[in-house]
Chain A
Amino acid sequence: MTSLPQVHLVDDDPDVRAGVSLLLRSADFRVRSFADATGLLQAITPETAGCLVLDVRLPDMDGLALQARLQERGILMPVLFITGHGDIPMAVRAVHAGALDFLEKPFDDRVLIDGVGRALEVDRRQRRRREETTALRRRLDALTPRERDVLQGLLDGKPNKRIALDLDLSVRTVEIHRSHLMHKMGARNASHLARLVLDEGAAGYGEEA
């Protein structure tokens, strides 16, 4: 479904690019490097797994603009900024705008490697969560309108009898719907079902109901 996680390094200085990617490779990360923001934007999609290591000042775009562009495109990979002398204020703004961290050049290898490791971990968690959300959404989409009504009743904590009364159905019919939807949602029991739907943040569900 998605490629293996990679570190995407963008710096216009060839020496820095070579040095940093070699360092990351020596710590067993996969690295793709780019000389400018345009090259990076052409190479990645929202599905790309990994993280971004960006110089805050690139020839075609500064770090903040690139960050905005990535968000526009739904690319949510964590960003680590690296900065040369004098760009600290911009790096701070970048962190406020959602970057994971910034490192001042030249940096300590452990700090960089830890940072990249952390970024990849964040990306993995985000991605898994997004996948789970997508799966849940698919399951919810598979429910019939009636089953959804029953699910709403269950989430509101109503007993079957009450749901049957509210929906003008027989208790037996409600039980059948309930059994179907428990199966479709992969829930073991009512409380598991509630946790699945509410905890995994099916945010749109309430509006629909």
Chain B
Amino acid sequence: MAGQPLTLHRRRTPAVPIAPMGTLLLRSLVLVSLYYAVALWGFLFTPDPNGVALVWPATGVGLALVLLHGPALLPAAALAAGLVSWQFHLEMMPLAQALGTTAATLAGVALGARLLRGLGFSPRLERVRDTALLLGVGALAASALAAAAGAWGLALGGRELDFTGTWWRCWMADLTGLMLVTPALLTWLDPHAPPLRAGVTGGWGMPLLLVTVTILVTGMTYSPLLPPALAMPLSYAVFPAILFSALRCPLRITTGLILVSGAIALSGTGLGFGPFADMGQTTGLLSLNAQLALLALTGLLLAALRAEREAERERARRHLDELARAGRLSTLGALSSGLAHELNQPLCAVSSYAQACRRLLARGRLQELAETLERLEAGTRRAAETVRQIRSFASGQAPPRHTLDPATLVHEVEALLRPELRRRGVHLVLKLPEGIPPLQGTPLQVQQVLLNLLHNAMEAAEGRQPAQVCLELRREGKALVFIVTDTGPGIPPQRMERLFEPFATWKRGGLGLGLSISRDLVEAHGGRLSARNPPRGGAEFRFDLPLEDPHDVPAASPSGGR
């Protein structure tokens, strides 16, 4: 893959790293066992004396494992296919043909895996594109080849068989098997998949209920208990469960449900029960396979659509995070000379204390020395606290939202701004009422909005009489309102309309991103940021943050205006 950077636009799946021999052997063993097991299962439900299985998931097993672990598993796939041929086909056809069947199956698996890899297929199945690729390429290449192999084998076996009909049934059996088995194997056996726990957000109750419902409903449908007239409509009852799972549960639960319901339906039909059993072999097989393929396709597509939407939302959130960090760094840059001063003060004190200590020691004034050492330590703590504040504000990761105390937030922001306020001779008035309730939010982002608004207000008020900035917190209904006012000249009326748009700056040296980022951050917290020129003069910016339960707060999402 040395040339990968040059072919990025082709979106190739990264090469599977070479696994140690032990792992390879273990995986090969898994492949052979699974392949053999599903082949055995396929033959068990083969009512046709010609050996055409009702469903043939073995190809799907081979494809899934080779996709996950790379072509190193192809020998195992060959072994498995050979073993099955030897066991089940040899009595029907000569050795050469049995070998040919094996080779064709293997070629199907290899070609399918190769094509999917080449086209950038991701075994996570988190994109609609992946589902489409699996269905299209995987089914067409692997199934067609496998089916051809089956038909070829059967035809050469000397039976009186209609080739086209056999091919068609083989292909259907392969495709259904692949749609049922491959997604489940890909999602459950992926060594890089996150733990299942991580995907189950609302507790295990829902997945367990869905599994129970699916097993019960499918079991009832394909049991001798129900008359066909009732069983037929009931065979669609599994759809809501799959749809619900696709929308609410991790993909693994959905693929698992598809596999389980498919296995029950096929087994039941194979045993002669259920709505499809009495239709005659070809029709029944075709109908059931079509229904199962549609069920799998619906579940997979829906899950992929949901995953795509979530990924899009996550991308927007990350984008906002990055933008916010850039904004914070730029704010820190503007405050840097003041912060350097703020850091230098305790350093000066500490250095003075240390030098005084040396003199006190030389004169044996030990009592004073001990006191001075204590003050020295306090000075270093103060410097360390300033450094901590700067670092946490500049850090890249915005910690997840949790409960925050608005007063603490405000005081931390004030500490960052204090040296610059002093330097510019601007007075900051804080109006924090008693007993402000805690908020739900990302502290860093709320602080960034506050710092940005206060910094703007400070710049506006600098050099005015009086030069004053006021921050007031007020509880209004179910929201906490932050109001920043200044004694500056107010917002120019012609700027008002485009105030929150990116790059709409009228200050020199500013990028004009501060207000735009601030508004996005406030909206990501479920609030609103607005500006006006109050009648008494100056500018006023206010934003509200909801005081509700965390579950009611919408997750960070892209906002309008971009």
Q: Tell me the complex Cα distance, A20–B375, Å.
A: 12
Q: Is B273 an interface residue, CB under 8 A from the partner?
A: no
- Distance in Å: Cβ of B352 to nearest Cβ of chain A: 3
Q: Tell me the complex Cα distance, A18–B340, Å.
A: 20
Interface size bracket, A side: 20 to 34
Which listed residue, A16, A23, A86, A109, touches B345 by the CB 8 Å rule?
A16
- Distance in Å: Cβ of A208 to nearest Cβ of chain B: 48
Q: Is B461 an interface residue, CB under 8 A from the partner?
A: no
On chain A, the residues within 8 Å of B379 by CB distance are 15, 19
- Distance in Å: Cβ of B335 to nearest Cβ of chain A: 12
- Distance in Å: Cβ of A130 to nearest Cβ of chain B: 33
Interface stretch of the complex, out of B324-332, B354-362, B388-396, B485-493: B354-362
Given contacts A26-B360, A27-B359, contact A16 B352 (CB under 8 A): yes
Given contacts A15-B382, A18-B375, A84-B341, contact A107 B359 (CB under 8 A): no
- Kindly identify, within residues 108 to 157 of chain A, every residue whose CB is under 8 Å from any CB belonging to chain B: 108-109
B348 touches A26 (CB 8 A): no
- Kindly identify, within residues 17 to 57 of chain A, every residue whose CB is under 8 Å from any CB belonging to chain B: 18-20, 22-23, 25-27, 57
Total interface residues in chain B, CB < 8 Å: 28
- Distance in Å: Cβ of A183 to nearest Cβ of chain B: 51
- Kindly identify, within residues 357 to 386 of chain B, every residue whose CB is under 8 Å from any CB belonging to chain A: 358-360, 363, 365, 368, 372, 375, 378-379, 382
Q: Please classify the interface of chain A as helix (H, G, I), strand (E, B), loop, or mixed, using the class held by over half of its residues.
A: mixed
Which listed residue, B344, B349, B368, touches A18 by the CB 8 Å rule?
B349
Given contacts A57-B423, A85-B337, A86-B337, contact A19 B350 (CB under 8 A): yes
A15 touches B345 (CB 8 A): yes
- Distance in Å: Cβ of B350 to nearest Cβ of chain A: 7
B375 touches A105 (CB 8 A): no
Which listed residue, B344, B347, B352, touches A22 by the CB 8 Å rule?
B352
Q: Tell me the complex Cα distance, A22–B372, Å.
A: 8
On chain B, the residues within 8 Å of A16 by CB distance are 345, 348-349, 352
Binding site for B on A (CB under 8 A): 13, 15-16, 18-20, 22-23, 25-27, 57, 59, 82, 84-86, 105-109
Binding site for A on B (CB under 8 A): 337, 340-341, 344-353, 355-356, 358-360, 363, 365, 368, 372, 375, 378-379, 382, 422-423
Lowest 4 A-B CB distances belong to which pairs? A19-B352, A109-B355, A19-B349, A106-B351
The contact sample of 6 A-B pairs, CB cut-off 8 A, is A19-B353, A22-B372, A26-B368, A27-B359, A57-B422, A109-B355
